[in-house]
Amino acid sequence: MDKTLLEKFKDTLHTNGMKCTPARLLIFKEVYSSSEHFDADEIYFRMRREKKAVSRATVYRTLDLLVENGFVSRVNVGASQVHFENTLAQEHHEHLVCTQCGKIIEFSDKVIEKQQNLICEEHDFFPTKHNLIIFGLCDKCRKRNN
């Protein structure tokens, strides 16, 4: 992994008065050891296999720290439960989801709809109904974060 990235991480730790611990550095390196998607337990087991064991709790806590400081993104929504909606009573639409508070806004857009079909076709993907989500921050959460 890129040397400067590690330095950038160390800087962030210093600047925010957080301690530069072996566990944090190891987790950071593990996260940046490939560009694949991963989940918390994957990191935990990978490190354990490589005899660089840290506790599960520390993995979870450090990943949160990395997300808060922009080194890692959450690929799916904050809401931990599965959300449903009834299908047949509704028009086709897409969703905006606030990753912080879970707020959902529905919208329809012809351009997105068309382009979405093109992209799916190109990648041998078959879109289902209600199938596109844009994650972001809603107005309120963004203001709260100032």
Location of structure tokens 């959300």: 83
Site for DNA in 65-104 (CB under 7 A): 80-82
Q: What is residue 52's DSSP assignment?
A: -
Q: What distance in Å separates the CA atoms of residue 9 and residue 14, rounded to the nearest whole number?
A: 9
Stretch of residues binding a copy of itself (CB under 8 A), selected from 10-18, 19-27, 46-54, 70-78 = 70-78
Minimum CB distance to DNA smaller for 11 or for 106: 11
The helix/strand/coil state of 101 is coil
41, 68, 85, 106: which one binds DNA (CB under 7 A)? 41
Minimum CB distance to a copy of itself smaller for 57 or for 88: 88
Stretch of residues binding a copy of itself (CB under 8 A), selected from 10-18, 19-27, 50-58, 112-120 = 112-120
Q: For the beta carbon of residue 105, count every other beta carbon within 10 angstroms.
A: 13
Q: What is residue 11's DSSP assignment?
A: H
- Which string of x and - marks every residue 7-46 that binds a copy of itself (by CB under 8 A)? -x----------------------xx--xxxxxxx-----
Pairing label, strands 94-98, 104-107: antiparallel
Length of the chain, in residues: 146
| Cβ atoms 20, 13 nearer than 8 A | yes
CB of 23 to DNA, least distance (A): 3
Which residues make up the interface to DNA (CB under 7 A)?
13-14, 17-24, 39-41, 53-58, 60-62, 64, 80-82
